[in-house]
């Protein structure tokens, strides 16, 4: 069950990509010397460093390397904070071939190549999706935020949920979820989030999300490269790199929720089975 949970967290993100000229912002360095702070002061600073937005639009190039499949595509990423996250895969000429939308209640996946779609609530997917990991945590991964598994946000009273180790070149932050999966976050000397890693109790399976190439966007640092890996015994079992090329915040963002009438509705399990069968 734990192994499947780790894989499903990765699948929620990677499944989108399996199916389907701006001024260069100033680079921001990371500070590799950690000076110890009081527990609450550290997290106050980290919350202050978190990328701020109400709406978010990004254009990115995504490279996917999974067993038996490699894929590269342009992807548009749209977020309305605490409401919706949409990924639109557009390999050629801006033509959408695949779309995935996540909200606090459920997910919708539209596969234009095969004229099919999935629309399910998280409650209906119980047993197929992790219990603690939720929409708000997925939103946090894409926006370089610290999070508590299964929670919508972090208030000051919840800082004691985290174990904090401040030494060396990075601060280590850890918290466990209801299934005893371990979430490890690393931050630099300015409390910028550098990575998120989810591991099972045996430490065999892991999802690792690295943030690099920080640049100033709207007056605040944002990682222009996100490197996502599924790990099995420390070896890569799939990798996705997201190269951001354009970011805009706090502009009107339209989330397209339309589904063509003739598309066939399928289940999330059928989508996953189809991907598994295609690799054989």
Q: Give the closest residue to 171 by CA, choosing from 29, 28, 30, 36.
A: 36
How many structural domains does the chain have?
1
Structure tokens at 204: 């065999």
Instruction: Return the ∠ at Cα 172 (arms to 169 and 178), rounded to 5°.
Output: 165
Answer for the pair 40, 47: CB distance below 8 angstroms, yes or no: no
Q: Which residues contact 97 (CB under 8 A, 6 or more apart)?
A: 19, 20, 89, 90, 91, 112, 113
Which tens digit of pLDDT belongs to each residue from 24-52?
445 555 666 678 899 999 999 999 989 99
Q: How far is CA 161 from CA 124, 195, 274, in A?
A: 29, 18, 39
Answer for the pair 17, 89: CB distance below 8 angstroms, yes or no: yes
Which tens digit of pLDDT belongs to each residue from 166-201?
988 899 999 998 888 899 999 999 999 999 999 988
Tell me the average pLDDT across 106-113: 92
Running DSSP on this structure, what letter comes out for residue 11?
H
CATH code (residue 241): 2.50.20.10
Residue 277's pLDDT is what? Answer: 58
Which tens digit of pLDDT belongs to each residue from 133-159?
789 999 999 999 999 999 999 999 999
pLDDT at 131 over 80: no
pLDDT above 70 covers a percentage of the chain that reads 82
Helices (H) and strands (E) in the chain, counts: 4, 14
Q: Which residues contact 23 (CB under 8 A, 6 or more apart)?
A: none
Confidence of residue 22 (pLDDT cuts 50, 70, 90): very low
Give the range of the structural domain holding residue 163, as residue numbers without chain letter.
2-20+28-278
């Amino acid at each position: 069950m734990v192994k499947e949970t780790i894989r499903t967290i990765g699948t929620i993100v990677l499944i989108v990509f399996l199916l389907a000229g701006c001024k260069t912002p100033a680079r921001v360095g990371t500070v590799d010397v950690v000076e110890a702070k009081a527990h609450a002061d550290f997290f106050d600073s980290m919350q202050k460093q978190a990328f701020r937005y109400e709406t978010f639009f990004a254009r990115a190039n995504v490279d996917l390397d999974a067993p038996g499949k490699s894929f590269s595509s342009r992807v548009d990423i749209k977020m309305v904070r605490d409401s919706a996250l949409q990924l639109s895969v557009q390999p050629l000429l801006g033509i959408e071939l695949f779309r995935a939308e996540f909200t606090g209640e459920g997910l919708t996946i539209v596969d234009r190549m095969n004229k099919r779609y999935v629309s399910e609530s998280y409650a209906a997917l119980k047993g197929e999706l992790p219990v603690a990991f939720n929409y708000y945590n997925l939103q946090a991964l894409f926006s370089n935020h610290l999070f508590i598994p299964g929670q919508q946000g972090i208030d000051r009273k919840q800082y004691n949920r985290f174990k904090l180790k401040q030494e060396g070149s990075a601060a280590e932050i850890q918290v466990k979820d209801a299934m005893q999966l371990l979430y490890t976050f690393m931050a630099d000397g300015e409390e910028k989030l550098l990575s998120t890693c989810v591991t099972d109790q045996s430490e065999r399976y892991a999802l690792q999300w690295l943030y690099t190439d920080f640049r100033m966007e709207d007056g605040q640092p944002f990682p222009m490269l996100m490197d996502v890996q599924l790990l099995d015994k420390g070896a890569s079992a799939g990798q996705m790199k997201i190269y951001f090329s354009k970011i805009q915040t706090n502009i009107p963002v339209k989330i397209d929720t339309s589904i063509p009438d003739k598309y066939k509705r399928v289940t999330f399990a059928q989508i996953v089975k189809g991907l598994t069968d295609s690799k054989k």
